[in-house]
Structure 1
């Protein structure tokens, strides 16, 4: 396998393993078995099991934020902010394995803190810039960048977790307008 193909095969295998058996099931030997890569190749590309977890987390989180970025346009903030929340929920429905991985890896303490804050700040920079510009125009109340994910999107996170725990029983479409309004209510001036 070529370097890029090996990395992609390991990342795909990691998602599959996590979806079938949880984070605990993702071992280097299982990754090698499912991906077809050698143990040595996995260590070469990722350094450790934690390196695979970190790479998958960064890729998935960046994909999530990337799904939200098209909402950042010149519409009034009261339409863009709910759209951001809706796009987040759409991504969770479209990518439940990645979404569940992001939540599980975050709370399991498997993501190395070294560089995590800088990574999230870099990925979320376009959101932060949009929010800062709209705050300066008086369309939003001031919210620090760190709070965009932890505080502003809190209603989205809670509903996403409930949906992931019971996709058949938790009607995300039905509650979506309330979630979008709740996110707007947090930042409206």
Structure 2
């Protein structure tokens, strides 16, 4: 059953990649995945349910790619590594990253917060210890990771060479958080 769900999510992701969110219809999912309408509704409840699960799956994979960086090294080294891991995940998974940026309204805020909690806790602990510049939790993503997010947006539009700039972007994120 998990394979069928993943197969449908993969089909939805390919459709989004080929034609945007509007390309994902139940009819297109049925055709692309080989599943019946009933099976799609059984597993996801609706088109919105497909998007919600695809968002959760993609966001979870992204966070999982970053969290190994959060260890006991000096905080700025770990932040640099986390940023590079994020950029590398995006480069390796542009379809998922494009979906995450295109469909933020399909995120379950509570689930997203729970998924990100270990990352946030690591940052808050390092800020409290004076290892990183103290910023409010709401500012961590837009302020600290702003250089990475803007670079990723441009990369996903095809106007930015992420591989060539990854070191510079990681340095910029570190500079924002340096105490």
Q: Does the alignment pair 1:96 with 2:94?
A: yes
Tell me the TM-score normalized by structure 1: 0.89
- Aligned length in residues: 179
Query: 2: CA distance between counterparts of 1:121 and 1:30?
Result: 31
For 2:138, the equivalent position in structure 1 comes to 146
Q: Structure 2-normalised TM-score?
A: 0.94
3-state SS, counterpart of residue 103 of structure 2: helix
Following TM superposition, where does structure 1 have runs of at least 4 consecutive aligned residues deviating by more than 3 angstroms? none
Q: Is the 8 A contact 1:9 1:36 kept in 2?
A: no
Distance 2:124 2:79 in 1: 13
Deviations 1:101-137 (A, max 9, x none): 111112xx4x16xxx2211211111111211221122
Structure 2 gap segments, 5+ residues each? none
1:117 aligns with 2:109: yes
Give 1:177 deviation, angstroms. 2.0
- RMSD of aligned Cα (Å): 1.4
What SS does structure 1 have at the residue aligned with 2:131? coil
Q: Does 2:166 match 1:176?
A: yes
Q: Secondary structure at the match of 1:124?
A: helix
CA distances 1:32-77 after superposition (whole Å, capped 9, x unpaired): 1111111111111111101101100111011101100110111101
